[in-house]
Amino acid sequence: MSVVIELLKFRVNPHQRENFIQKDAEIWTTALAKYPGFLSKEVWINPNNPTEVIFLIRWNTLEQWQAVPQADLEQIEQQFAQAVGDIYQLVEVTEYQVRKFPQT
């Protein structure tokens, strides 16, 4: 088993970007941290494109990530959307596996 990365890329109103990131931490990150397998979350800001925000979420296993109930995800998303309004669009969802190699 290896760590799984969930990469989410958003297009965000640049004037609301900081609010978007803050509310995401308060709502999404706090909620996801309660589920087994959640390891960490990073926020990547593109210095050349103020509308682009990427979240990199680390999960211990794919099974633990996929075990988060869809109904919970929908409820969290609804709460988040109410908090920030119509300022963002999810433009990419990608999954990666982290491979670790022995040190030589």
Task: State pLDDT tens for residues 57-75.
Answer: 999 999 999 999 999 999 9
Q: Distance between CA atoms of 56 and 23, rounded to whole angstroms? A: 16
Report the CATH number that the domain containing residue 83 is assigned in CATH.
3.30.70.100
User: What is the layout of strands, in order, in the sheet containing 88-97?
Assistant: 38-45, 52-59, 4-12, 88-97
pLDDT of residue 53: 98
Q: Which of the pair, 81 or 98, is modelled with greater confidence?
A: 81
Question: What average pLDDT does the segment 20-49 reach?
Answer: 97
User: Predicted confidence band at 77 (pLDDT cuts at 50, 70, 90)?
Assistant: very high
For residue 86, is it within any domain?
A: yes
For residue 9, is it within any domain?
A: yes
Contacts of 69 (CB under 8 A, 6+ apart): none
pLDDT at 102 over 80: no
Contacts of 59 (CB under 8 A, 6+ apart): 3, 4, 5, 6, 37, 38, 39, 65
For residue 103, is it within any domain?
A: no
**Residue closest to 95 by CA, chosen among 66, 53, 52:** 66
Q: How many domains does the chain have?
A: 1
Parent domain of 67: 4-97
